Structure 1
Amino acid sequence: MKNEIMAVAEAKKRFSEIISKSAYSDQRIIITKRNRPIAAVISIEDLHSLEQIEKRKGLMEIIGKWQNFDEINDAIDNIVDKRHKEGTGRNVSF
């Protein structure tokens, strides 16, 4: 994946082109102001990928914190044991 760096003034002039490049050519455009990166234009697929990474990261943080909650672990273990002892589950047919 290729990145293109562009100043804000140039990006304003070429906005439609920037949108097309990011959407159809798998290119990321980094917008700068006074030679400092301030924003990026990326494809919607890249955005979805980043969002998925954030969700996974959030779930991993929760999982790590649950290790210290003995009550939750005990409750889950009790539920699993109870289900195993009772068989496959209750009959919900009509």
Structure 2
Amino acid sequence: MPKVSVAEAKSHLSELIAKSAHGKERFVITRRNRPVAALVSLEDLRIIEQHQQREGLAAVAGKWRGFDELAETMGDLDRLRQSGGEGRDVSL
């Protein structure tokens, strides 16, 4: 990911936002050459948030007695998503 100083990000914010939103580029914002933030598209942010939610639910399910089946099913769903599986036909 390209690194951009805070000063540069301030002066080119519109351009960086356009590149992030439309060009799917990601930027690390630095202060004194140290990473302090990142600029990512909303699509990337949603993916990050979904990943965090799945991890959180899996952790909770694993701690509840009797919910092993739920944790296993969630793992199956995650593997299907990663492999690009189409799943099963649920049409009526």
Structure 1 gap segments, 5+ residues each:
68-72, 74-94
Whole-Å Cα distance in 1 between the matches of residues 63 and 37 of structure 2?
A: 33
Deviation (angstroms), 1:31: 0.4
Query: Which residue in the other structure is 1:87 paired with?
Result: none
Deviation (angstroms), 1:4: 1.3
Matches within 5 A, 1:1-94: 3-67=1-65, 73=66
TM-score for the superposition, normalised by structure 2: 0.69
3-state secondary structure, aligned to 2:26: strand
Whole-Å Cα distance in 1 between the matches of residues 44 and 14 of structure 2?
A: 19
Deviation (angstroms), 1:7: 0.5
Deviation (angstroms), 1:63: 1.0
Whole-Å Cα distance in 2 between the matches of residues 19 and 66 of structure 1?
A: 43
Instruction: Output the aligned Cα RMSD.
Output: 0.8
Whole-Å Cα distance in 2 between the matches of residues 46 and 56 of structure 1?
A: 16
Amino acid at match of 2:48: L
Deviation (angstroms), 1:25: 0.6
Q: Percent identity?
A: 48
Whole-Å Cα distance in 1 between the matches of residues 21 and 47 of structure 2?
A: 14
Amino acid at match of 2:37: A
- Structure whose alpha-carbon radius of gyration is higher: 1
Q: How many residues align?
A: 66
3-state secondary structure, aligned to 2:2: strand
Q: Could you list the structure 1 runs, at least 4 aligned residues long, displaced by more than 6 angstroms after superposition.
A: none
TM-score for the superposition, normalised by structure 1: 0.68
